[in-house]
Structure 1
Amino acid sequence: MTPITEVEGRRLALSNLDKVLYPATGTTKGEVLHYYATTVTGPLLAQLRDRPVSFLRYPDGPEGPCFFTKNPPPGTPSWVRTAPVPHRGDEAAEQVVLTDLASLMWAANLVVEFHTPQWRAGTPGVADRMVFDLDPGAPATAVECCAVALWLRERLAADDLLACPKTSGSKGLHLLVPLEPTASDRVSAYAKGLAVEAEQALPELVVHRMRRSLRPGRVFVDFSQNAAAKTTATPYTLRARPEPTVSAPLTWAEIENCRTPAELVLLAGDMAARLADHGDLLAPLADPDRARPLPRGDSRRG
């Protein structure tokens, strides 16, 4: 029988708790739910707050079928919040917005990666953050991503913008930047301009175009996730990888001192100690006093 658990007054059926989802570490679904219920609840909900969530579902583990969905899954409880999100033209479709521990645990029971846009549900297409996805092309690794991240940090600082780093949970890094509310197309234009500048400053290390033939040995600075229709792996989400890797916040000291890619592979079991040591390194993203406007004239960049 599927156990019924009460979470914050909501009854949830949590299924297959002994099922091994990550064979490389033997991590079970019950351990995954425990991670979300006890280790990262607060900081993860802060990142999910008021953002429509898309799910990458991998119910049989990362080696099984994976599928991406923006629509509320069949059987979504009536108490799970949804919000209308523009999709094509004037059409809108409902997407889930996770607001509390009960809805987070309902979603985690589906075995998902959480992905969110750079804007909030009430203001679609008006971003309050910017993202750069640093994706290494072999033989480049996360070590090369760190060098690019450091260049971008200084370039953003020159425009009075704060960069907050995290791992992607896969091979690369993400940089998140708190912004005063700004139209997504304007953010995209600015981000593209910086990607072009990075390639000009570091031509042996950086590429700003997606073309695969350009990427071996370089870091692709992907600015495209700033488009209103795009999403990025939410901080603290587990990823569908062989091990339970986390898209985990980093300190700049970790990036400055990184010598091997393994140093930036962070697992679910690492996060309690990291939160105890560092707190929520991405708290500035939710602090309106840290948000800044984009510089004027950025739309002409790139």
Structure 2
Amino acid sequence: MTPITEVEGRRLALSNLDKVLYAASGFTKGEMLHYYASTAEALLPHLRHRPVSFLRFPDGPDGQRFFAKNVPPGTPDWVHTADVRRSDGTSRQVVVDDLATLMWAGNLVTEFHTPQWRTDAPARADRLVLDLDPGEPATVVECCRVGLWLRERLRADGLDVYAKTSGSKGLHLLCPLEPTPSEQVTAYAKKLAQDAEAELPDLVVHRMTRSLRPGKVFVDFSQNAAAKTTATPYTLRARPEPTVSTPVTWEEVEGCGDQDQLVFLAADIAPRLERYGELLGPLNDPGQGRPLPHGPHGPHGPRGRTREAGS
């Protein structure tokens, strides 16, 4: 019998709570739902007002996975949705605005992926993202080296910079922006990736071509495009273990000498939140948004080097 739970006045049927999703650790669906509930205060601000794309893996990471953008069949009528324009027309997507919706979506067994813009300002990014993706034998250790170079470059352009693990193999850098057309953010991010490759040619590649990537860090700037999404902070990932896309301090990035140092599981997040607080909180504060630079070091020349942004 499927248990019925009430969350913020909404009745939810939560199914198969004892089902093991992550075989290596025995992590169950019930534990997944508990994780999302216990981190909701930190997670929800990154989901609110953004259309969500789901990577669903109902039988665990080793089973079938499918990416879903459209509102799933059977979605309760109280779940918020939004129209999203695509190249092939308009579609309707879920917006996870509250705990009840988070629990409903978690019951589908999902990773959360969100764009860099909000539903009230489509294709106007309020954050910039750079996805640092290592090509074997490179690891997150090399991503951290690249991330530190990019941090200084972004700070010189007057931007505050924050970091999180991808929850997979890489590192994400994020900057809060004043709302800016996505194509302008993408162009700026591409220039950053090209500059990083020019400065660190043995370590960085800015093109996705697989043959170029072994042993290097691919600086993926494309996720700034309006049609693209990035793994949401604090989402669980469909990996062999219940890894989480986890905010990290710059001290952790600077001190990373082993890839295992920046692997965080669901059980690690509550203690980290207690220790560090919500490291990415400024991303959700409109007052923290900075203007996108117009030139190589912003419209007024080099600046921002003295600011301890994002640390």
Global fold match (TM > 0.5): yes
Show CA shifts across 1:81-140 (max 9, x none).
Answer: 001100126x32110001110000000000000000000011111000010000000010
| 1:93 equivalenced with 2:91 (yes/no) | yes
1:165 matched residue in structure 2: 163
1:46 matched residue in structure 2: 45
1:76 matched residue in structure 2: 75
Q: TM-score, normalised by structure 2?
A: 0.94
Deviation at 1:297, TM superposition (A): 4.0
In 1, the alpha carbon distance for the partners of 2:61 and 2:85 equals: 30
- Residue of 222, 229, 232 corresponding to 1:231: 229
In 1, the alpha carbon distance for the partners of 2:283 and 2:91 equals: 27
Deviation at 1:24, TM superposition (A): 1.0
| 1:62 equivalenced with 2:53 (yes/no) | no
2:33 matched residue in structure 1: 33
1:195 matched residue in structure 2: 193
Write out aligned runs for 1:103-182 (5 A): 103-182=101-180
Deviation at 1:288, TM superposition (A): 2.2
1:275 matched residue in structure 2: 273
Amino acid paired to 1:196: Q
3-state SS in 1 of match to 2:248:
coil
Amino acid paired to 2:242: P
Deviation at 1:43, TM superposition (A): 1.0
Write out aligned runs for 1:242-253 (5 A): 242-253=240-251
Amino acid paired to 1:73: P
1:5 matched residue in structure 2: 5
In 1, the alpha carbon distance for the partners of 2:249 and 2:291 equals: 24
Q: Which runs of 5+ in 2 are unaligned?
A: 297-311
3-state SS in 2 of match to 1:68:
strand
1:290 matched residue in structure 2: 288
In 2, the alpha carbon distance for the partners of 1:248 and 1:296 equals: 31
Identity of aligned residues (%): 70
| 1:22 equivalenced with 2:53 (yes/no) | no
3-state SS in 2 of match to 1:71:
coil
In 2, the alpha carbon distance for the partners of 1:176 and 1:53 equals: 18
Show CA shifts across 1:238-295 (max 9, x none).
Answer: 0000000000000000000001000000000000100000000000101223210011
3-state SS in 2 of match to 1:134:
strand
3-state SS in 2 of match to 1:189:
helix
Show CA shifts across 1:190-245 (max 9, x none).
Answer: 00000000000000000000001110110000000000000000000000000000
In 1, the alpha carbon distance for the partners of 2:73 and 2:287 equals: 40
Moved over 3 A (4+): none
In 2, the alpha carbon distance for the partners of 1:64 and 1:104 equals: 22
3-state SS in 2 of match to 1:204:
coil
Amino acid paired to 1:53: V
Show CA shifts across 1:141-172 (max 9, x none).
Answer: 00000000000000000001011100000000
Amino acid paired to 2:186: S
1:215 matched residue in structure 2: 213
Q: Which runs of 5+ in 1 are unaligned?
A: none
3-state SS in 2 of match to 1:133:
strand
